[in-house]
Structure 1
Amino acid sequence: MRLVIRSVYNNNSVLVEIGEKKQAIISGKGIGFRKRPGDTISATSANNILYLEDDRIKKHFATLLKDVPIDIVVTAFKAIDMAKHTYHYSVLNYIYVTLTDHIFQMYKHLMNGKYQPSMVPDIHERYPTEYAIGKAVLRMINQNLNVHFPDAEIKNIALHFINAKGVDPEQVPTDNLSSSVNRIVKQVFEAYDIKRNLTNQNYFDRLMIHLQYLVERVQTKSLDDHTLNRNIEQDFRRLYPKSYEISGKICDQLESSLRISLNENERVYFIIHIQRLIQENENTNA
């Protein structure tokens, strides 16, 4: 079977068209060498294939490629697809952005000798499936990227899947909703002198994506209904008091202004996002 190349990412990765309106990332040694859009390649030349299942995923992939190396994007996307199919785990599509960015940031820290395991409490007893997914994903990351992240990274990956659990509704967040959420967050951040900059922009954008999908899940009544261990919330409050305070104010204002109700799980997820954001912000100002 011959596949038509639509884009060449590097010597080992290309975007191909498979049938009508279907696309996939094909990777294999030398598969893109001296190839151009419109050329064809044999399907037997591929070592791996990653299907881009819908328009949102295609858009996420194209956006991420502007800043993230192709091998990291492909690894993250394949890991998410593995979780979907092997563990029958449904996730919102924004995890393609958040998990990819997380892996990229951790990879850069590891390569620069600045990697430090996070202080996220242990969650394997409360979330055995997500922890198992995190363990399998970490194995894929270490193998595909030829790195060695410690097992402490499993719980961080697991949290991404806990956070993104759900089924995407057909409609996307509206412009009015996006504007309201952005305005609320900006007001709270201004009070704490938190600004988007070159250092923290990835964490800032990740938080904004989380906010948009969070409100959408509230509207479609698809929030995570599992109850986090109470000790986790207490640990976060003790470890990250500033993030706890900021997330509380954002959640309170979202509930008041948008007339929604957020459960404790969502508040904990905010703490994680905000802690990473303000930590990068403080490192920049240091």
Structure 2
Amino acid sequence: MRIYKILNNNAVIIRNAQQQEQVVMGRGLGFQKRPGDFLDKACVEKIFSLQEPGLQALLSELLQRIPAEIITTSDHIICLARQKIPSLHERIYLTLVDHLHFAIERHRQGMAISNLMLWDIQQLYPCEYDIGLASLELIAQEMDCQLPIDEAGFIALHLANAQLTGDMKITNQISLLMQEVLQIVRLKMHIRLDENTLAFHRFVTHLKFLAQRLLSKNGLLPGDIALQEMVQQSCPQAWNCAKTISKHIETNGHEKLSDAEIMYLSLHINRLHDRQAI
């Protein structure tokens, strides 16, 4: 293997037999090397070969400004995640690396950011959240940096997002479904939706992931029957609105929502109503 381009002391670009660019990492791999030099295979630790157009160039750009240890730890987290979520899209190498870089920098500078959606993430994405918790342990061990529990939620969201194909047709379908649901909420709950409120952003994020689950057919969420009954009794108007949404979704050819999905919708709708009633 010959070096095509040097990114830094620990990362270079090569071209394979098909003339496709690949990023190769290893400690000291690019030190005192020039394009055209042979690689020392004994120093190669990781080869990145991202297939989606543009991702390889973006990864190369990241590697030029982000420390190698963050790339390595991110790769360990992704390998851990793939054991439970084999369908992760390769864009996770970009989003997670970039996020961890800024998260660690913020933490070292004493800039804490609270994850206001932590409870929602724990309920909606328990598998991804567990991986997020394990990721914090990895980061602490490998980088001597103990990130706050909020970061487990942020990592979980990146993992949830990376389970989608990014297909434009699906993106448009998600957007349309979200718009239809928001219109139902406006009419049924008689509220004016304020896009600048946390309640609205929480609801939109929830809708986005609900739509993704429906369109990717990854399965709907299970839930606690007792909690569902409590929500139905305490938030009857929001529950009826969520049932209307469920009927609309089913009428349009999607999977019937579980009572757990209706419960989560109800909780978000009730928050919207409490904060944005006309």
Q: TM-score, normalised by structure 2?
A: 0.55
Which of 107, 110, 113 is matched with 1:110 structurally? Answer: 107
Q: Per the alignment, in what secondary structure is the counterpart of residue 121 of structure 1?
A: helix
The offset of 1:110, in angstroms, is 1.0
Q: Which amino acid aligns with 1:8?
A: I
Compared CA separation, residues 26 and 176, structure 1 to 2 (3 A)? closer
Give the SS at the match of 1:55: coil
Among 93, 96, 99, the alignment partner of 1:99 is 96
1:135 equivalent among 125, 133, 136 = 133
Task: In structure 2, list runs of 5 or more residues that go unmatched.
Answer: 184-192, 197-204, 229-240, 266-278
- Summarize deviations over 1:202-236 as a string: whole Å, max 9, x none: xxxxx8xx96x9867654x4345233669999xxx
SS in 2 for 1:30: coil
Aligned residue for 1:45?
Answer: 43
The partner residue of 1:172 within 167, 171, 176 is 167
Does the Cα contact within 8 Å between 2:7 and 2:60 map onto a contact in 1? no
What is the Cα deviation at residue 44 of structure 1? Answer: 0.2
Check 1:225–1:96 CA distance in 2 against 1; reply closer, same or farther (3 A cut).
farther
Is the contact made by 1:91 and 1:164 (CA closer than 8 Å) also made in structure 2?
no
Change (3 A) 1:6 1:126: same
Q: C-alpha distance in 1, partners of 2:226/2:5?
A: 49
CA–CA distance in 2 between the matches of 1:18 and 1:10? 20
Gaps of 5+ in 1: 195-206, 234-247, 270-286
Larger radius of gyration: 2
* Matched pairs, number: 229
Task: Supply the distance in 1 between the matched residues of 2:226 and 2:55 (Cα, whole angstroms).
Answer: 35
Partner Cα distance (1:232, 1:75) in 2: 38
Give the C-alpha shift of residue 114 in structure 1: 0.6
Post-superposition Cα deviations, 1:49-101, rounded to whole Å, max 9, x if no partner, equal: 1432x412x733532554673334454344213321xx242234243444334
Q: Is the 8 A contact 2:214 2:220 kept in 1?
A: no
Q: 2:74 aligns with which of 57, 73, 76?
A: 76
Q: Percentage identity across aligned positions? A: 23
1:126/1:228 contact within 8 Å kept: no
SS for the counterpart of 2:13 is: strand
Indicate the residue corresponding to 2:57 in structure 1.
Answer: 62
